[in-house]
Structures are given as C-alpha cells and as structure tokens.
C-alpha cells in the first residue's frame, strides 16, 4: 500500500487555515514524514497520524515553511518517551541547527537522532521499497524524493504450479524469474509457471521548484507526482522570479513525465479559493487533484 | 491601558487544542509579544492581533515551547513587507540561532532585527512605561518580565488651579510635585494644587519556574502576576523535579508578593479539564483567573 496524506498545503505564509508544507507517505507499515512546516505536530495530532510509527523524516530544503515544525516534533517525541531511533534526511546545514537548539534547551533526547545529509541518488534501500532523492531548482538547494515499492518481477500461476508439482520452497525463486529443474533433470521454463508482475507503485514529491523540464526526466512514469503550484497561470512571471511554478507548468511536467496522476499544492496565500488551480491544471493534465489537508491520496 | 491577551496556555506538549506559551501585552498603543511557542503566528492571526504593531518581542528562555514559533513569525513579517525595526529581548544564545536559520534559508529580512541579550534590570525605559527583567528558577537560564506604566506622582486639582490662576505652562511641573511661585514672589504649595495620582498599572510575567519565594520580592505589589501552574498540588514533587510549580505554590507567591490578581497557566498536557487548577489556586489566593487562549485580561 502506498499513499500520501496532506498535513499542510500552503506556501510560506499560513492563511485561510491552510498550513505550511508537510505530508505523510504511507508505504505498507512505514510512515515517512516529508517536510515539516510550523504546526506539523499539531496537524499530526489533528489527523490522528501515529507519530510513534514515524521513523524517517525527509526535509526538502531550508526555507522555514518546510522545516520550522521539526524541532517541536523532535522534542515532543522525546517528551512522549520515544526510544526508537529517528532518521532525518535533510540538507547538511540542518544538522548543526538541530544540535544547537537541543543544546540551548539543555535537551537530552531519550532516543537516537540519526542525521543523513541529502545527496542525489538512493537514500534508503530495503527489500520492499526504496527512497531516492533528486535535485530540483529553487532559490536555495532543494531536493525532491521518490518513494518506490519494489515487487518481484513475476507472479505465480497457481494452476501451472500445481500441474508441474513445483515445491513451495522454490516459489520465491520462481517469482524472481528462475527456471525450475525437476528431479529427473527436466528444465521447466519460468515463463510457463509465472506471469509478469504488476510493477510497484511510486510517488514523487518535487518540493519547491521553478519550472524545469529536466524534472520530468527524474520522475518519469511515477504513479503519482506531487508538483507545487504556488501561483495560477497569469502570475507565471512572478512564479519564475521567486523560483516557484504555476498550474500550467506543473501540468506540463506531468505530461512530459507521463505520470499517471498529478497532485498540486503549496498554494500562495494570495488565493483563498482553490477551484481555479484545479480548473487550470486539469485543462492541461486532466488527472489532477488538489492537495487538501487531512485527505489521503491512495496510489 | 495595560492588558494581556493569552495566545498559548499549555506546557510543552500541545494538547486539547491548547498551544505552547505566548502572550501579547498591550500597553497604551504598544503591543509586546511575550514568548513565542510554535504556532504563535497562527494564533496571532486567529485572535486578530495586529502583528504590524508588534515591535518588541521578549523570550523568557530557550525551551522550544517558548520560542519555536519565533522564526516563523520573523520570516512571515518579512514576507508581509514589514519595514519597521523589530527588537528581540532574549537569552544570548538565541542570536546565533536566528542568524544561522536566516542564513540557511538565504533570507534577507526587509527590516532591521535588533537583538538585546537579556540581563536583570531595566530592558526598556520610556516616558510612559518601563519593562524590566528578573531571574526565575528553571532547568536552564530563565527570565521573567515586568511591564509598568509610569504616571506623574500628582494629579491636578482643576478648581484650585483656576482659583490660584496657575499658567498652563506650569501644569507639567505641578504634576511632578513642584511648588508654584507667583509673579509677586508668593509660594503656593504643590499640595494645595494637586492630589496624589493613582499609581501606574503593572504586569509581571514569571515565566517557567520552580517554587521560590524570592520571586515574590521581585514582583511585590504588581497589579497582575502571571505565575505558571504546570501541575496540581498533588504533583508538587514532580513539579519540583522538573523545575515547575503547582497551583498552591503560585498562590503562595501571589500572597507573599501581595499582588492584586493572579493569572495561572502553562498547564500540563496531563490535564484536559482546568477547573481543578482554578479551585485549588483560589482556595489559597481567591483573586485568581485561569489564562484562557483568546481572552484578554485588563488590568
């Protein structure tokens, strides 16, 4: 199961009860927190996210609306008696900021905080999923993240397996494409016994970025792409000046990258209503949803 | 006019829709922000505090629930185009934390941020008020603040002034207790022309502290004392261990200091209902109010 729950969908200035950026990615039993704007710990409580199940936090860049809630969350986790280690993947400069603030408060966390400075490539590699990181184009260093389920390439064909009397101990090897050799030395082709597996689901979070088509190459074919749309199309010059994107630009990236679905957010505080964001983006890329706080988008 | 508006009345862990500590002190046309826990900028918006009128922020100590909202407020003020200078009175270590976070975000504020490291004594001295600072007793360095209206010592007696034909140019000197000498060289005693002025109002904020009677000496006779009551009386041992206070302890300080009224807050997240805080404290010091978010207490 891969899904994303929106905790904050607004740009820097909180407004209209919209909060700065934060999302929770659910990948099977794992919860990953992506960005952590001010108030994230309150949003986590409001939407009943199990914070004890968050073991990995990813911070895209060091503009405050993406990380000013991190220290509050970290210290609250400590007050709640957390003992499981917590991994933070973030721009290198954040490590010192965390250390200094813990020191200023005389705070000794009851759990291990493990800091991983961001760089492009694979951040986490597990049996069933991987998380990777790519550069986007913002006023300061900024990274996006891709969460990808891994699946064995082949799916067992129940009837054929019975027919050829394959022992269960060989099933896993079948899933990974191996041919079976009977005790008589007869080889049975894997393709006879299995079908192609549906591929693992994937979610890409493109953080804050100016329009740049090279992002499309980095997120090609993902099932769900989150791309910021700070502004409507008419403000595309302002968007570029501030290293942000518009509705039409996000939709263009989704089209070029041939993603299945697009999720848009990071709305400017200029806008109270969001309908026009949906309309403009869907004009160019129909399978688009607005990122709404408290809503979970299943992939 | 002296008043305090509560923006956050909870201790470190936000709970039951209560927020970490922050207050706005209104002194005539001035707004002073006292502490700035996470989410303060949202509370400021919710309770329609004019943030453009806040020119002075006082931070009592560097536990996150008293300052993790500061960076968000500072940067939002910049995004809103503030150009008036902003003064921050805070523990010395905060200056570097602010600078590093601004630098990490590549943020150039469009206004001057002027940092004043806290020390005991007068922090601000103006014609009509002063703000002073005193040490309290917490796990790390921690300060309280007193906001005090200044009033001339004497009030003019309208009828006597007419009777003795005192020129308006001498009124201000009369207010400050000077005798008047007529053109004929006759001295008219100030006491004939004026009455004692009601004294200026005062508000003391005692921040986070363990019970310590020396605090009473520092806040003697203020009109309103804010004293933390993190715990009910039954948890007085836990309170002491964590350098916090209870209901009965706050009330004792109020009694010893002979203040007019006591305001209690910084309630532990253990407690959903606050009635017992009020009952226990009033048992010892009847003129007590609970600090409730969004409520303004006029002095």
Per-residue H/E/C for A154-180: EEECHHHHHHCCCCHHHHHHHHCCCCE
Structure tokens of A272?
Answer: 């109270």
pLDDT tens figures, B215-272? 999 999 999 999 999 999 999 999 999 999 999 999 999 999 999 999 999 999 999 9
Does B26 have pLDDT greater than 90?
A: yes
Closest CA to B124 of B172, B57, B69, B61: B57
Q: How many CB pairs under 8 A join A and B?
A: 97
Does A197 have pLDDT greater than 90?
A: no
Please give the CATH topology (third level) of the domain spanning A2-151+200-298.
Metallo-beta-lactamase; Chain A (3.60.15)
Q: How far is B29 from chain A (nearest CA, A)?
A: 26
Q: What is the dihedral of CA A226, A232, A236, A238, to 10 degrees?
A: -100
Cα gap A261→A263, rounded to integer Å? 7
Cα gap A43→A54, rounded to integer Å? 14
Interface of B to A at Cβ within 8 Å reads: 12-15, 19-20, 38-39, 41-42, 45, 62-65, 68-69, 71-72, 75-76, 79-80, 91, 93-94, 96-97, 100-101, 104-107, 139-140
Q: Which of A44, A99, A105 to mutate to test the interface with B (most CBs of B within 10 A)?
A: A105
Q: Which of B101, B103, B118, B269 to mutate to test the interface with A (most CBs of A within 10 A)?
A: B101
A98 CB neighbour count, 10 Å cutoff = 18
**Closest-approach residue (CA) in chain B for A75:** B64
Torsions phi, psi for B32 (to 5 deg) = -115, 130
Please compute the mean of the pLDDT values over residues A20-45 and round it to a whole number: 97
Per-residue H/E/C for B228-245: ECCECHHHHHHHHHCCCC
**What superfamily would CATH give domain B2-151+201-298?**
Ribonuclease Z/Hydroxyacylglutathione hydrolase-like (3.60.15.10)
Residue scoring higher pLDDT (A208 or A176): A208
Q: Are A201 and A235 in contact (CB under 8 A)?
A: no
Q: Across the interface, do A69 and B38 touch by the CB < 8 Å criterion?
A: yes
DSSP state of A105: T
Mean confidence (pLDDT) of chain A: 96
Interface confidence (ipTM) of the complex: 0.89
Give span(s): CATH 3.60.15.10, chain A: 2-151+200-298
Does A198 have pLDDT greater than 90?
A: no
Give span(s): CATH 3.60.15.10, chain B: 2-151+201-298
Is A65 catalytic? The answer is yes
Quickly state the pLDDT bin for A127 (edges 50, 70, 90).
confident
**What percentage of chain A carries pLDDT values higher than 90?**
94
Does A35 have pLDDT greater than 90?
A: yes
Decide the pairing of beta strands B194-196 and B202-205: unpaired
Mean confidence (pLDDT) of chain B: 96
Q: Are A121 and A132 in contact (CB under 8 A)?
A: yes
Q: Write down the catalytic residue from A35, A65, A208, A233.
A: A65
Q: Across the interface, do B75 and A91 touch by the CB < 8 Å criterion?
A: no
Cα gap A7→A23, rounded to integer Å? 5
| Helices A70-79 and A94-104, packing angle to 10 deg | 50
Q: Across the interface, do B105 and A80 touch by the CB < 8 Å criterion?
A: no
**What percentage of chain B carries pLDDT values higher than 70?**
100
Q: In chain A, count H helices and then E strands.
A: 10, 18
Contacts of B64 in chain A (CB under 8 A): 71-72, 75, 101, 105, 107
Q: Across the interface, do A100 and B100 touch by the CB < 8 Å criterion?
A: yes
Please compute the mean of the pLDDT values over residues A105-109 and round it to a whole number: 97
Q: Across the interface, do B14 and A79 touch by the CB < 8 Å criterion?
A: no
Among A87-91, A140-144, A169-173, B251-255, the minimum mean pLDDT is found in A169-173
**Closest-approach residue (CA) in chain B for A139:** B106
What pLDDT is attached to residue B199? 86
Interface of A to B at Cβ within 8 Å reads: 12-15, 19-20, 38-39, 41-42, 45, 62-65, 68-69, 71-72, 75-76, 79-80, 91, 93-94, 96-97, 100-101, 104-107, 139-140
Quickly state the pLDDT bin for B197 (edges 50, 70, 90).
confident
């Amino acid at each position: 199961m891969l899904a994303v729950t929106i905790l904050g969908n607004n740009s820097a200035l909180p407004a209209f009860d919209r909060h700065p950026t934060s999302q929770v990615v659910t990948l099977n039993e794992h919860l990953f927190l992506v960005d952590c704007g001010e108030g994230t710990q309150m949003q986590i409580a409001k939407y009943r996210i199990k914070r004890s199940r968050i073991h990995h936090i990813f911070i895209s860049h060091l503009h405050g609306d993406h990380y000013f809630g991190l220290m509050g969350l970290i210290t609250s986790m400590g007050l709640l008696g957390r003992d499981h280690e917590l991994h933070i993947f973030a721009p290198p400069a954040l490590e010192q900021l965390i250390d200094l603030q813990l020191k200023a408060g005389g705070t000794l966390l009851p759990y291990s905080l493990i800091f991983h400075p961001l760089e492009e490539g694979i951040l986490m590699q597990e049996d069933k999923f991987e998380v990777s990181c790519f550069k986007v184009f913002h006023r300061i260093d900024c990274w996006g993240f891709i969460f990808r389920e891994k699946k064995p390439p082949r799916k067992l064909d129940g009837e054929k397996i019975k027919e050829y009397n394959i022992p269960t101990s060989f099933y896993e090897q079948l899933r990974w494409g191996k041919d079976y050799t009977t005790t008589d030395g007869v080889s049975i082709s894997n393709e006879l016994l299995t079908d192609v597996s549906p591929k693992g689901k994937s979610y890409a979070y493109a953080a804050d970025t100016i329009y740049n088509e090279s992002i499309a190459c980095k997120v090609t074919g993902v099932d769900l792409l989150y791309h910021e749309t700070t502004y409507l199309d008419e403000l595309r010059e302002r968007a570029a000046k501030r290293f942000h994107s518009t509705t039409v630009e996000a939709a263009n990236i989704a089209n070029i990258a041939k993603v299945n679905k697009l999720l848009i957010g990071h709305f400017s505080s200029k806008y109270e209503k969001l309908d026009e964001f949906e309309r403009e983006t869907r004009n160019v890329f129909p399978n688009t949803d607005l990122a709404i706080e408290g809503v979970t988008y299943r992939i």
